[in-house]
Amino acid sequence: MELRAISAMAKRVNEIIIFVFVALFSKAIGAKPYWRTRWPIDRVSTECLTWQLAVEANNVRGWRIVPAHCLSHIEAYMTGGQYEQDVDYIVEQIESYVSELVVGEDGMDAWILDIDDTCLSNVIYYKKKKYGCEPYDPMAFKAWAMKGECPAIPGVLGLFSKLVKNGFKVFLITGRDEETLAPSTIANLHDQGFIGYERLTFRSPAYKGKSAVVYKSEIRKQIMEEGYRIWGNVGDQWTDLQGDCLGNRTFKLPNPMYCVP
């Protein structure tokens, strides 16, 4: 029994020594021990950051609106410079990948780009909708899109230009309605510098009622059946990057303002 007690005491002393060492080491390097239990000063901000991370990782699905208490957080993210920085970083990864590709001489190397909040930004519109804290309003969005005033997302415009210059055929696929939004969208794209794409596909009556995944999968399948090799697919929604015929790689741009099911 004495040996057991001595052994237990020695183990406890060893644990205390390790605890003290870690605490002193953490203080020396300015870090906080991993077992910290105090909440940060701005609890709401960290909760919203966690929600945003879960959304971008597709762990939260089918969400309809941004939590009301996250309005300030999303506004700051979208307009304070972090959003642009994140997009530019992703574009850098895409361009690094593109630099490793060898374009064939047959002109059949393709890329897929979404339009809304991939090529063209709707942040101006969503500012009036509290950056997604209000429910989606299809009529209001259609009225906005018909104005043709969406600014280009600079990083993606630069990527688009490089893809075209390097010989890739760029296919633009959008969920926008063909019958009402085609003329304004085409003019908007051209005004913003998206010139030289291979094809622009809108949601036609044939795809009415079909989910974004089904619709975009069928369009990509048609492109591949024509003999094109899809090397990359870029979108701001997970539904842009799910389904069939996705291509060799997919790249997700951030968008915490809305979710397309």
For residue 177, the enclosing domain spans: 43-252
> For residue 244, is it within any domain?
yes
At 7, is the pLDDT very low, low, confident or very high (cuts 50, 70, 90)?
low
Instruction: Provide the pLDDT for residue 43.
Output: 74
- What letter represents residue 118's amino acid? T
User: What percentage of the chain reaches a pLDDT higher than 90?
Assistant: 82
> For residue 257, is it within any domain?
no
pLDDT in tens, 184-205: 999 999 999 999 999 999 999 9
pLDDT in tens, 117-137: 999 999 999 999 999 999 999
> For residue 17, is it within any domain?
no
Task: Please name the residues in contact with 98: beta carbons below 8 A apart, sequence gap of 6 or more.
Answer: 162, 163, 166, 168, 231, 232
At 13, is the pLDDT very low, low, confident or very high (cuts 50, 70, 90)?
very low
> For residue 137, is it within any domain?
yes
Where are the alpha helices (H) located in the chain, listed in sequence order? 2-28, 43-56, 71-79, 82-98, 123-128, 138-147, 154-165, 178-191, 212-225
Q: How many other CB atoms are found less than 10 A from the CB of residue 153?
A: 24
> For residue 98, is it within any domain?
yes
Instruction: Provide the pLDDT for residue 15.
Output: 57
Distance CA 167, CA 169 (A): 7
Instruction: Provide the pLDDT for residue 69.
Output: 96
**247 in Cβ contact with 217 (< 8 Å):** no
Instruction: Provide the pLDDT for residue 14.
Output: 57
User: Across the beta sheet with 249-252, what order do the strands follow?
Assistant: 199-203, 169-177, 109-113, 229-235, 249-252
Maximal CA-CA distance, the chain? 89
Instruction: Provide the pLDDT for residue 190.
Output: 98
Cα Rg for the chain, rounded, in angstroms? 25
**245 in Cβ contact with 220 (< 8 Å):** yes
Domain count along the chain: 1
Averaged pLDDT score across all residues of the chain: 89
At 56, is the pLDDT very low, low, confident or very high (cuts 50, 70, 90)?
very high
> For residue 116, is it within any domain?
yes
- Global confidence as pTM: 0.83
CA atoms within 13 A on the CB side of 67: 13
CATH of the domain at 215: 3.40.50.1000
pLDDT in tens, 235-250: 999 999 999 999 999 9
Instruction: Provide the pLDDT for residue 4.
Output: 54
pLDDT in tens, 79-104: 999 999 999 999 999 999 999 999 99
> For residue 3, is it within any domain?
no
Distance CA 255, CA 221 (A): 26
> For residue 14, is it within any domain?
no
